[in-house]
Chain A
Amino acid sequence: MSPKERIFVLVLIVFVVLHLDLWGWGRIEPMLFGWIPYHIWYHGLLTLSVALCMVWLVVWVWPKDSSKF
């Protein structure tokens, strides 16, 4: 595994910790627009962050030299 890939795996672990969000386990409020409770908007933002992380993956981590990993 390349050093860049190791960094990528560490970033994934950070996302796992954020996903566990024990601090918000029982939260409902604040409810955005009256119908989006905490869990949905928090994890929705996390999902967008994951997509950005994948952009970073293909731009920075993905091997430039296609003959090697």
Chain B
Amino acid sequence: MTEITADVLAIAGIYLVALLVIGWWSYRKTLPTPEDFFMAGRAFGPVVLIFAVYATNMTAFYMLGTPGNAYRQGIGTYGYIAFASALVIPAMFYLIGYRAWRVGKRYGYMTPSELLGARYESPAVALVLFVLLVFYTVPYIVTSVIGAGLALESLAKIPYLWGAVSVLLITMLYTVFGGMRGTAWTSVFQGLVFIVVGLLAFVLIANALGGFTAITQRVYAERPELLQRTGNFDPKDWFSFLFIAPLAVIAFPHVFMRILTGRSERTLKALTVVYPLLFLLTWPPVIYIGLWGSVVIPGLDARSSDAILPMMIARFLPPAMLGLGLAAIWAAIMSTLDAMMLTLSTMLTRDLLGRFFPGYMREKGREVVLGRIFIVLIALLALVGAVIRPGTIYDIAKFAFTGYSLTVPAMLAGFYWKRSTAWGILASLVIPNLLLPFYYFTPYLSWSTFGFLPVVPLLVFSLVLLVFVSLWTRPPSEQTVQRFFNPRL
């Protein structure tokens, strides 16, 4: 083992041990009840909630996919992804998140399926939403594990699978023991790590390359096309993307559930105001590193360019920074991975077993035990996906995000349209999701996009179905509707 590899592993090892310590502390604080294990008693204040949500939102897509995209498509990556997110996500925190938080607090809902199933008095709505969210969360988990393996390979020259297994194992341990409290407090730590290290890498890499002006002017001289959007982005694609990642975030069950853990309205308000500023602080640095990489390490193919950020750290920063760089990348990845694993576990426990075997699940302590077992099983499934490695991080994420976005009309209807019905919701969920693979894997429906991304015609179709079918079917009882529109706390 080289000296550099030993340094990298030592610092990364310290980071992983810190996570285990936080996980153990959380375990000691967590009661073995579903409300405390899955929701930490809904007691998070502003700082924990902001970091829990933001760090959960940031993943391999942020630390690897985004600089990779900047490497290939240039500076417009900021507007395309970061600004679109900074605008739409906090808006959705208010328009959907606040309402979900209120009914969640009032009636004890934990998952989107529980909530929407109750809103429409429909086990079918709950089950369909559960299936869709699980289906789209699994590939998203796989992107995280792939990213973890790539990072270790780039920074320490250790085979990809070692990184994947290490990250999965540690994440699984602190999630199994610490539950929501563990995943949220590790998110605070992880958020600080990747924000600080990202900013440090930005400054130090620029310094190693002659300064911000020198290296950016070099990009201007050699690859000027990357400093603007013509030829790199299409306006219709640009507009469409607002409805993929940014809109999808509120539908991510792991983000949705975290919003429900807020202690008060003040907590949610703080989240809404601070969120755009976090994008402005943390995204330009990684985008610039990818951009600079285009002239410093040219010629990478699409899949390899996903690793441009760790490559740049490995090439230009002192050995100590390599370990911090790996820790930062893993922090961004693990802060989402733990949330998704816990969320899937919660959904399998409550939405599946709780619905079909209520008597069995009523036994004291059983829900938490099974929740912990599911976390382990999900980790094993993720490992299989990481070994297969079906595509680039960016491509996998785009497919999953479109699927999540297609659940948003149902959520909006649930909180804003009293006349919406269970059949309308089912139509809006099922039919567009059945069409989604045709858009991504066949040419048969490309005529209907008119140059936009598939999410646009699919969302329009989803809304049309929701309205049309609702108007022809019976809404839930007035009493249920009032529970959701006036949940007194």
Interface residues of A (CB under 8 A from B): 1, 5, 8, 12, 15-16, 19-20, 22, 25-28, 31, 33-35, 37-40, 43-44, 46-48, 50-51, 54-55, 57-58, 61-62, 66-69
A39 touches B230 (CB 8 A): no
Q: Please state if A28 and B489 are interface contacts (CB–CB under 8 Å).
A: no
Contact indicator A12/B228 (Cβ below 8 Å): no
Chain B contacts for A43, CB-based, 8 A: 78-79, 82-83
Q: Are A50 and B79 in contact (CB under 8 A)?
A: no
Residue of chain B at shortest CB distance from A26 = B230
* Contact assessment for B87 and A34 in the assembled complex, using a CB-CB cutoff below 8 Å: no
On whether A39 and B235 interact (CB within 8 A), knowing A28-B227, A62-B269, the answer reads: no
What are 20 A-B interface contacts by the 8 Å CB criterion?
Answer: A1-B416, A5-B95, A12-B87, A16-B87, A19-B83, A26-B228, A26-B230, A28-B227, A35-B215, A40-B75, A40-B284, A43-B83, A47-B83, A50-B86, A50-B276, A51-B280, A54-B90, A54-B276, A62-B98, A62-B269
A67-B489 Cα distance, complex, nearest whole Å: 7
Residues of A within 8 A of B228 (CB): 25-28, 37-39
Q: Are B235 and A37 in contact (CB under 8 A)?
A: no
Question: Is B224 an interface position by the 8 A CB rule?
Answer: yes
User: Nearest Cβ distance between residue A11 and chain B, in whole angstroms?
Assistant: 9
How far, in Å, is B240 (CB) from chain A's closest CB?
11
What is the bound-complex CA distance between A5 and B415, given in angstroms? Answer: 13
Q: Are B486 and A67 in contact (CB under 8 A)?
A: yes
Question: What residues on A are CB-neighbors of B239 within 8 Å?
Answer: 16, 20
Residues in B whose Cβ lies below 8 Å from that of A38: 228
- How distant is the Cα of A1 from the Cα of B235 in the complex, in angstroms? 30
Tell me, yes or no, whether B442 is within 8 Å of chain A by CB.
no
- Contact across chains for B230 and A25 when beta carbons are under 8 A apart: yes
| Given pairs A28-B227, A57-B272, A62-B265, 8 additional interface contacts (CB within 8 A) | A8-B91, A19-B79, A37-B228, A43-B82, A47-B280, A54-B276, A67-B489, A69-B486
Please tell me if the beta carbons of B216 and A66 are within 8 angstroms of each other in the complex: no
Residues of A within 8 A of B90 (CB): 50, 54
Main secondary structure of the interface of B (DSSP, over half): helix
Of A16, A27, A34, which is within 8 A of B216 by CB?
A: A34
Q: Which of A5, A19, A26 contacts B84 (CB 8 A)?
A: A19
8 nearest CB pairs, A to B: A34-B213, A35-B216, A26-B230, A35-B212, A58-B269, A51-B276, A47-B280, A50-B276
> What A residues does B79 contact at CB under 8 A?
19, 39, 43
- Nearest B residue to A44, CB-CB: B280
Alpha-carbon gap, A15 to B87, bound state (A): 8
Please determine whether A68 and B486 come into contact, CB atoms closer than 8 angstroms: yes
Contacts of B489 in A (CB 8 A): 66-67
Q: Residues of B contacting A15 with CB < 8 Å?
A: 87
Whole-angstrom distance between the Cβ of A20 and the nearest chain B Cβ: 6
CB distance from A5 to the nearest CB of B (A): 8
B488 in contact with A69 (CB, 8 Å): no
Q: Are B87 and A50 in contact (CB under 8 A)?
A: yes
Q: Which residue of B lies closest to A49 (CB)?
A: B276
B145 vs chain A, min Cβ distance (A): 31
- B275 touches A (CB below 8 Å): yes
A31 to B95, CA, bound (A): 37
Give Cα distance in the complex from A22 to B79, angstroms. Answer: 13
Measured CA separation A67–B91 after assembly (Å): 21
Query: Within 8 Å of chain A (Cβ to Cβ): is B229?
Result: yes
CA distance A57 to B276 in the complex (A): 13
* Chain A nearest Cβ from B244, distance in angstroms: 14
Measured CB to CB, the closest approach of chain B to A40, in angstroms, equals: 6
> In the complex, are the beta carbons of A54 and B99 less than 8 A apart?
no
Question: Please, which residue of chain A has its CB at the minimum distance from the CB of B217?
Answer: A34
Are A58 and B273 CB-contacts (below 8 A) given A25-B235, A33-B212, A39-B229?
yes
Q: Contact check: which of A51, A57, A67 meets B94 at CB < 8 Å?
A: A57
User: B229 contacts A33, CB within 8 Å?
Assistant: no
Residues of A within 8 A of B98 (CB): 62
Chain A residues with Cβ below 8 Å from B277 are 47-48, 51
